[in-house]
A and B are shown apart, each in its own frame.
Chain A
Amino acid sequence: MADDRSDLELVRQFQAGDESAFNQLVLRYQEKVYWVARRFVTDHEGADDVTQEVFVKAYESLKEFRGDSSLYTWLYRIAVNLALNAVRKRKVREFFRMDEMYDVIDGGTEQPDEALERREERSLIEQAIERLPKKQKAVFLLRYYEEMPYEEIAKVLNTSIGGLKANYFHAVKKIQEYLQRAHGSR
């Protein structure tokens, strides 16, 4: 049966010690949070980890939640920050792993086809989105996939609303250019 208590009611009940209210919030928002995370980090395992972390962080911080912004915006802000962090951490780790660079110096132990195949496991669109600058990527994912109003995006990203439409346009344009280049090089 659907729970008709508002987000704020659930938060207040959780703050008063009702653990089941937190469960209800998780059930209400788990899919939304997962999909935000999935768009940012692209793989299921990474998105799963970010989703769990979002709710762990929410659990730890909800005691201080005063309702200045909506719970939805608040959770999205946590999700976007953790997802961006996860992406950056992965990039740093991948960089220092340097398996592909090693081949360049060593004369090449990996077959070119294998490297190409590994890159192409992910779609061109995912690759194009991954290469967007951080803010454009966030604006694109929240606007296109989450259909979030610009006012909410500004709150989630803790930025002013001015320029968000331009960020969105430039993101789409860069995706288009990336796809064009990718096709041109084939």
Chain B
Amino acid sequence: MRMDHVDSLLPDYLTGFLEEELRKGVDEHLRRCNRCRQQERSLREVLLRIAQEPSPIVPDGYFAALLPRIRARLEDRRAWRPSWTPVVARIGAPLAVAILIFAIALHLEFRYPSTQSESETNPLHLIAKEISAEELQRVLADQLSRQPLLETTVDPETIQQQVIRALAADLELSARSQSPSIIFGNGVSVSESLNELSEAELQTLLRLLEERSIL
């Protein structure tokens, strides 16, 4: 059986999940392809290392106690839903998100004057200046969600630090709470507000993040 390079078959080959015929084909290919042999050796090493990783620990008796806890959670949901769900889901949550975004947007307008400054050479600062507060939030979170793609050339924490440095000149930093946060204008804290977001509100924010691709 003749094959081009066999990269995509190697993980299954090395973990023993390749069908007999394909396995023989890979064997044959490896005998005459130095490149794939090297690839196979390095993947073998990493898969061996993953296999040697100790299994995560599960607390004793966890599974025996899980069903009653799931039942209890179901009961809680049932008890909570009839009175709250329609109001919160249909009116409260969207309203809260709208108010939060509006409040932040209102104060950010004053935080990004249109005067020239040397920090404008920083591409992150430029982005922060030109977009709305709502989009700014997405950019900040997008930095984080995109770290895996950027991480080959830039350390993930460096990206976060760059974002914060770029914004530090325009935003007050507060150490009032134990967990430092950025404070917008009249004291609206992104950190605190985000932690207070309900599940539905957070889902809305996450959906927005998914739809957006910046940088």
Q: Does A pair with B?
A: yes
Q: Using CB atoms and an 8 Å cutoff, list the residues of chain A in contact with chain B.
A: 23, 26-27, 30-31, 34, 38, 42, 44, 48, 51-52, 55-56, 59, 85, 88-89, 91-102, 104-106, 123, 125, 131-133, 143-144, 147, 165-166, 168-169, 172-173, 175-177, 179
Give every chain B residue within 8 A of A94 (Cβ-Cβ): 144
Contact B202–A89 (Cβ < 8 Å): yes
Give every chain B residue within 8 A of A30 (Cβ-Cβ): 63, 66-67
Contact A99–B43 (Cβ < 8 Å): no
Within the assembled complex, what's the spacing in Å between the Cα atoms of A179 and B52?
14
Contact B53–A123 (Cβ < 8 Å): yes
Residue of A nearest to B160 (CB): A101
Give every chain A residue within 8 A of B140 (Cβ-Cβ): 95-96
Contact B46–A179 (Cβ < 8 Å): yes
Quick check: is B2 within 8 A (CB to CB) of the other chain?
no
Contact A104–B165 (Cβ < 8 Å): yes
Within the assembled complex, what's the spacing in Å between the Cα atoms of A99 and B42?
37
Give every chain B residue within 8 A of A51 (Cβ-Cβ): 66
Which of A52, A97, A98: most chain B Cβ within 10 A? A98
Give every chain A residue within 8 A of B56 (Cβ-Cβ): 38, 42, 44
Contact A26–B66 (Cβ < 8 Å): yes
Residue of B nearest to A115 (CB): B157
Give every chain A residue within 8 A of B148 (Cβ-Cβ): 131-133
Which of B49, B50, B63, B181: most chain A Cβ within 10 A? B50
Contact B50–A101 (Cβ < 8 Å): no
Contact A165–B63 (Cβ < 8 Å): no
Quick check: is B106 within 8 A (CB to CB) of the other chain?
no
Give every chain B residue within 8 A of A105 (Cβ-Cβ): 164-165, 168, 173
Give every chain B residue within 8 A of A52 (Cβ-Cβ): 66, 69-70, 73
Contact A44–B49 (Cβ < 8 Å): no
For the complex formed, measure the closest distance between the CB of A152 and the CB atoms of chain B, giving whole angstroms. 13
Contact B43–A173 (Cβ < 8 Å): yes
* Interface size of B in residues (CB-CB distance below 8 Å): 63
Contact B50–A96 (Cβ < 8 Å): no
B 10-59 contacts with A by CB, 8 A: 10-12, 15, 17, 42-43, 45-47, 49-50, 53, 56-59
Within the assembled complex, what's the spacing in Å between the Cα atoms of A105 and B170?
13
Give every chain A residue within 8 A of B47 (Cβ-Cβ): 172
Within the assembled complex, what's the spacing in Å between the Cα atoms of A30 and B110?
52
B 180-202 contacts with A by CB, 8 A: 180-182, 190-191, 194-195, 202
Contact B8–A168 (Cβ < 8 Å): yes
Query: Quick one: given A52-B73, A56-B70, A85-B206, are A106 and B173 in contact (CB under 8 Å)?
Result: yes
Quick check: is B97 within 8 A (CB to CB) of the other chain?
no
What are the nearest 3 A-B pairs in CB distance?
A102-B180, A176-B46, A165-B8
Give every chain B residue within 8 A of A38 (Cβ-Cβ): 56, 58
For the complex formed, measure the closest distance between the CB of B133 and the CB atoms of chain A, giving whole angstroms. 14
Contact A165–B73 (Cβ < 8 Å): no
Quick check: is B145 within 8 A (CB to CB) of the other chain?
yes
Residue of A nearest to B149 (CB): A133
B 57-89 contacts with A by CB, 8 A: 57-59, 62-63, 66-67, 69-71, 73-74, 77
Given contacts A165-B8, A168-B8, 9 further A-B contacts (CB under 8 A): A30-B66, A92-B209, A94-B144, A95-B141, A95-B160, A104-B164, A131-B147, A133-B148, A144-B50
